[in-house]
């Protein structure tokens, strides 16, 4: 094939690559058409994906009559922004936020630390039978929460912890086995000699962990921390079992109860506004830490 000069752009070296270019060009043209078609399909699909969320938002700023209007109102004539104001006073949303925040922060901060220390010991320290212990812990993952929720509930009700945040916090402070597993894997790549050297230099195990290991595993901890935080923030089953008084409920329970309470009065704007606000913190966290979250999700899945 003769080389066509026009194709040699963008500093492509002549010769072997240039000779392939006519063929490449065909592929590229073809894929441009496919890509355009795909783009349209993906965009339509994206609209479908976002529609419920957008509709949630527009419903929140509609008037009550607009919610039920036929034909449907897509965008309210006068957006009722005050729904986002009045929901704070008409429903215990603020205390829901506070409670969710207390639970999720305490659990993830303390739990990540205990998980990381345990993972360090399991990966890098000498202890007879540590692999057996690790396997036993892993086996706990096979037990679904609904199976043990009734005994746990009985335990905590005997401690008079029902209708407090403690049953949601305390069990999780002892660490998260998935996180332990993840960090233990991560630590496999750290050479033992590094730790041996620190030991010979007289560093205590706490020093080794906090000065050496913690900085190394920071990315792994960060990724797992965010995922765990999201899980706790969005949890519904355990909170609904334990929390009765409105001012003690976490955000998910608050909005679920709003749905029951206000649906009969048809105050859908209020319910939608509260639901929308409940999504926001996590969506914002996701948008900020998107890279780390996506990477660690992808990693967990492919390694699984």
Partner 1 sequence: MTRSQAAAATVDPPPADAGPQPERAPDRDRRARNRLHRVEHRWALLFIAPPVIGFLLFTLYPIGFAVYTSLTSWNGLGPMRFVGLDNYVALVQDEYFRKSLWNTFFYMIGIPIGLVLSLLLAIALNRRIPGRTAFRTIYYVPVISSLAAIAIVWQFAYNGDFGLINQVLGWFGINGPDWLQNTATVKPAIILMAIWKGLGYSMLLYLAAIQSVPASLYEAASLDGANAYQKFRSITLPMVRPVTFFLVVTNIIAGAQIFTEINIMTPTGGPEFSSASVVWYIVRKAFKYQQMGYATAMAIVLGILVLVITLIQFRLNRRNSFSIE
Residues 213-242 close enough to bind partner 1 by CB under 8 A: 215, 230, 233-234, 236-237, 240-241
Per CB under 8 A, the list member of 4, 44, 51, 85 interacting with partner 1 is 51
Nearest distance from residue 79's CB to partner 1, in Å? 18
Taking a C-beta distance cutoff of 8 angstroms, is the pair 217, 179 a contact?
no
Report the C-alpha gap between 60 and 270 in whole angstroms: 6
Per CB under 8 A, the list member of 44, 125, 159, 288 interacting with partner 1 is 125
Q: 204: Cβ–Cβ under 8 A, 6 or more apart, which residues?
A: none
Specify the residue, 74 or 189, whose C-beta has the smaller distance to partner 1. 74
Please report whether residue 26 would count as binding partner 1 according to CB under 8 A. Answer: no
DSSP labels, 73-124: PSS-SS--TTHHHHHHHHSTHHHHHHHHHHHHHHHHHHHHHHHHHHHHHHHH
Q: Between residue 156 and residue 195, which ones bind partner 1 under the rule CB under 8 A?
A: 157, 171, 173-175, 177, 180
Per CB under 8 A, the list member of 5, 11, 15, 202 interacting with partner 1 is 202
Residue 236, SS3 per DSSP: coil
Report the C-alpha gap between 279 and 169 in whole angstroms: 21
Q: Between residue 63 and residue 92, which ones bind partner 1 under the rule CB under 8 A?
A: 67-72
Region near partner 1 per CB under 8 A, out of 10-18, 30-38, 79-87, 186-194: 30-38
State whether the Cα torsion 266-272-274-278 is positive or negative. positive
Nearest distance from residue 151's CB to partner 1, in Å? 4
Please report whether residue 10 would count as binding partner 1 according to CB under 8 A. Answer: no
């Amino acid at each position: 094939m003769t080389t066509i000069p026009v194709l040699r752009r963008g500093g492509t070296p002549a010769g072997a690559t240039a000779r392939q270019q006519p063929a490449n060009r065909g592929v590229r043209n073809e894929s441009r058409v496919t890509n355009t078609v795909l783009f349209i399909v993906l965009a339509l699909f994206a609209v479908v994906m976002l529609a419920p969320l957008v509709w949630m938002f527009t419903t929140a700023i509609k008037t009550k009559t607009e919610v039920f209007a036929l034909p449907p109102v897509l965008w309210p004539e006068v957006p009722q922004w005050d729904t986002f104001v009045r929901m704070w006073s008409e429903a215990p949303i603020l205390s829901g936020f506070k409670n969710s925040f207390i639970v999720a922060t305490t659990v993830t901060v303390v739990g990540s630390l205990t998980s990381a220390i345990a993972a360090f010991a399991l990966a890098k320290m000498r202890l007879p039978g540590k692999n057996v212990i690790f396997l036993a812990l892993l086996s706990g993952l096979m037990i679904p929460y609904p199976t043990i929720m009734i005994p746990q509930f009985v335990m905590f009700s005997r401690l008079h912890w029902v209708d407090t945040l403690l049953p949601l916090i305390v069990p999780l402070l002892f660490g998260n086995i998935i996180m332990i597993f993840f960090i233990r894997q991560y630590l496999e790549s750290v050479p033992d000699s590094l730790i041996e050297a620190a030991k010979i230099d007289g560093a205590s195990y706490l020093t080794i962990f906090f000065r050496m290991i913690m900085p190394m595993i920071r990315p792994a901890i960060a990724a797992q921390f965010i995922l765990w935080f999201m899980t706790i923030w969005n949890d519904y089953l355990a909170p609904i079992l334990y929390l009765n008084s409105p001012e003690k409920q976490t955000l998910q329970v608050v909005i679920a109860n709003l749905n029951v309470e206000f649906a009969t009065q048809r105050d859908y704007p209020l319910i939608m506004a509260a639901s929308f606000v409940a999504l926001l913190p996590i969506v914002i966290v996701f948008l900020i830490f998107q890279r780390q979250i996506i990477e660690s999700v992808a990693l967990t899945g492919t390694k699984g």
